[in-house]
Amino acid sequence: MRLPLKRLLIYCCMGVLISSGCSTPVESGGEAEAGMTDEQIVELTDRVIQWQLDTYPEEKWGKSWRDATLFIGITGIAKILNQDSYWEIARKWAGRQDWEIGSNRQHADDQAVGQVYLQFYEREGDDYMIRDFKRWIDVMIAKQITGAELWNWCDALFMSPPALAHLASLTGQEKYVEFLNEKFWESKEFLYDPEHHLFFRDHRFFGESDARGNPVFWSRGNGWVVAGLARIMSHLPRENLHYKRYRSLFMEMMDKLAAIQPEDGLWRTNLLSPGLYPTPDVSGTSLISYALGWGINEKILTDDKYVVAFRKSWSGLVQKVGPDGKLGYAQKPGDRPGTVDKDNSEIFAAGAFLLAAGEALRAEEN
């Protein structure tokens, strides 16, 4: 009989050794343990959000993918908890952006904010919330461009495709999901390595090897992809002809990522040669952990190995949150594996962490 995810997390919190592979939790300078009650998770997310707001004041808010990821995480928690205060924080940010996307309107990074606006539109139905986003998506669709040109770096598969899937589900307009399906699979064909079941970050890494002789696969880049797949499938009807393709790709990648997960649960920036940059990275790990938790909660990842992998990743992440709510060990913005400073925090890493926390909150009791 399969042990439910939330019960597994709680047992691990208590330090109980169970047959699925939990071990006694390690001591840390931040949160003591990863197994938590809902109330403890909420208290933790409060601290993480408050630290971000204290250190990232309103006058610095913008429309970048970094901001978008933070507020995607905040609205994700707000939706799960039906928490008005979180919604109001995100509304204030969206209002300061005039509900507009970034200035490079055909670039996926500048479309990521649309995911937040669509959450509000789903909740309240005011057209002004998605008017600018929808307008520029329509312009993009009208252009003749292949997916390998449009989304030619793997991060893009988190930034824009989930918003297209959500826009299609809310408007009922098939053109959005048709565009998504065509361009996504062209991009996948361009960037995906079928031998290793991982995505190259972009064309510069085709045929390249690291110092250990392995191909170069970036943890955050692949985290963007699996988190993006989870968010696409959240909005795509299961009867859609492409749903099974997204699901199959998701399961293939999650199987690989679970198989190469380090013992402490935290992926390093170089997936196949973790020893090259041995410090763990919470940004890539948070995205992968979110995808794991989502897949388990949606009954897509049904093997116990995924429950154990999620437990280990969530445990490791929680231990990187300081008493003040600062989430350290975040790799800085970049495009490849590299070093991680234990004291570095990033707003996009916090947003990804909040997404993973949301899946811990959604974990089933039965």
Q: Where are the alpha helices (DSSP H) in the chain?
A: 5-13, 38-55, 65-81, 84-96, 108-111, 114-124, 131-142, 147-150, 156-159, 161-171, 174-191, 219-235, 243-259, 282-297, 304-318, 347-362
Q: How far apart are CA 359 and CA 366, in angstroms?
A: 15
Half-sphere exposure of 152 (CA within 13 A, CB side): 10
Q: How far apart are CA 186 and CA 285, in angstroms?
A: 26
* Token pair recorded at residue 85: 């205060």
* Token pair recorded at residue 87: 């919604």
- List beta partners, residue 198: 193
Residue 344 has phi, psi (to 5 degrees) of -85, 135
Q: Kindly report the length of the chain.
A: 366
- Beta-carbon contacts of residue 317 (< 8 Å; ≥ 6 apart): 34, 265, 266, 282, 285, 286, 289, 353, 356
- List beta partners, residue 218: 270
* 155 included as an active-site residue: yes
- Catalytic residue of the set 110, 132, 155, 281: 155
Residue 192 host element (H or E): strand 192-193
> Within 10 A of 295 (CB to CB), how many other CB atoms are there?
23
Contact between residue 187 and residue 179 where contact means Cβ atoms under 8 Å apart: no
- What residues are labeled active site? 155
